[in-house]
């Protein structure tokens, strides 16, 4: 029986608690243990997201629900090739290049050389889109898309995106610009040119409070939360809209926003193949840019977590799981 490798959270704590583990892979034949509509994917790249690191540290709902199920394999973004599928998953054939936002929020499983995925959770990756980009897109892209929808961003709106150079932020800028909004984004001086190239006006958070640099924004997309998110509320005009993404501080940010007369909501992303397909087409057409900051081997997942926890990554981080394709 063939085996395959996974990177698992062995206990909650620092990045060093991540460890490789070996699992058996059934023969790829009639005895393949796939459920009704599942597809077996050989993972080539897996996206790394802040929620992975928070769960590993024991923070948030996914950690609370999985605390008695360790070791647990994190990872919600994958891209790779179909190896096998059951008859009910007839759309997919061996060799198809696919991407998906999988196992969210309790199953995870993306940090793995192979993963069985419900067929309806997968998108076809166009030939012109590298698999590393396809793996980096789903969670971050759909978070950005849904935050803008929840905030009802329209043409002519002034939109402030916090952490504009980050994984979600750099996609949110582009999607907001595509809606016709005038976009401002907080970032460091070192990321100012990057943010401008995406179509936003860069606001260097080290050059003073954001609410001094910008007034009367219609919308705040808060990707930072906590004191940073609360401090940015002063940038938004009365009656403006706030969507805050970090779930741990959402209640706190929304309470402060409402006291200022703002419309405020927290959000938890919901996987959407339709949105993934749409953004995949944008990547293929060159109308959406996805920046990969670093690629780490699966065995170096702890280093990838250290990088994402630094708060200074530009764009996305991915794990190379099964080689390039």
- Token output for 90: 């007839």
Angle ∠(74,295,82) on CA atoms, nearest 5: 60
C-alpha distances in Å from residue 173, one per residue of 11, 201, 220, 324: 36, 10, 12, 29
pLDDT along the chain (325 residues), means of 10: 91 98 69 67 97 97 96 98 75 93 97 94 97 98 98 98 98 98 98 98 96 97 98 98 96 98 97 98 98 98 97 96 69
Distance separating alpha carbons of residues 251 and 256, to the nearest angstrom:
9
Write down the pLDDT at residue 181: 98
Check: CB of residue 112 under 8 Å from CB of residue 73.
yes
pLDDT at 1: 56
pLDDT at 322: 86
**pLDDT at 251 (0 to 100):** 97
pLDDT of residue 88: 55
Give all domains of the chain, ordered by start, each with its CATH number: 2-137+290-320 (3.90.180.10), 140-266 (3.40.50.720)
Q: Can you tell me the distance from the alpha carbon of 266 to that of 251, in angstroms, rounded to the nearest whole number?
A: 7
């Amino acid at each position: 029986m063939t085996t395959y490798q996974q990177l698992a959270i062995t206990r909650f704590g620092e990045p060093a608690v991540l460890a490789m583990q070996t699992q058996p892979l059934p023969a790829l034949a009639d005895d393949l243990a796939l459920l009704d509509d599942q597809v077996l994917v050989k993972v080539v790249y897996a996206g790394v997201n802040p929620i992975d690191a928070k769960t590993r540290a024991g923070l948030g709902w996914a950690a609370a629900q999985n605390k008695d199920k360790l070791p647990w394999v994190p990872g919600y973004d994958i891209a790779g090739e179909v190896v096998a599928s059951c008859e009910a998953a007839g759309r997919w054939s061996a060799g198809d290049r696919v991407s998906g936002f999988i196992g969210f929020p309790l199953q995870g499983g993306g940090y793995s050389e192979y993963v069985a995925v419900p067929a309806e959770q997968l998108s076809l990756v166009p030939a012109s889109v590298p698999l590393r980009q396809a793996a980096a897109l789903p969670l971050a892209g759909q978070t950005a898309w849904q935050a803008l929808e929840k905030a009802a961003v329209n043409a002519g709106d002034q939109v402030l995106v916090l952490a504009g150079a980050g994984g979600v932020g750099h996609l949110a800028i582009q999607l907001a610009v595509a809606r016709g909004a005038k976009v401002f984004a907080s970032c460091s001086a070192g990321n100012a040119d990057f943010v401008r190239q995406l179509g936003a006006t860069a606001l260097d958070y080290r050059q003073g409070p954001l609410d001094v640099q910008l007034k009367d924004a219609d919308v705040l997309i808060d990707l930072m939360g906590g004191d940073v998110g609360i401090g940015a509320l002063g940038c938004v005009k009365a009656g403006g809209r706030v969507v805050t993404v970090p779930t741990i501080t959402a209640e706190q940010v929304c309470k402060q926003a409402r006291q200022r007369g703002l419309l405020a909501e927290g959000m938890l992303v919901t996987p959407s193949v339709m949105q993934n397909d749409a953004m995949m087409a944008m990547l293929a057409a060159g109308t959406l840019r996805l920046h990969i900051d670093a690629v780490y081997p699966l065995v170096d997942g702890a280093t990838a977590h250290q990088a994402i926890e630094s708060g200074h990554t530009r764009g996305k981080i991915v794990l190379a799981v099964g080689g390039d394709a």
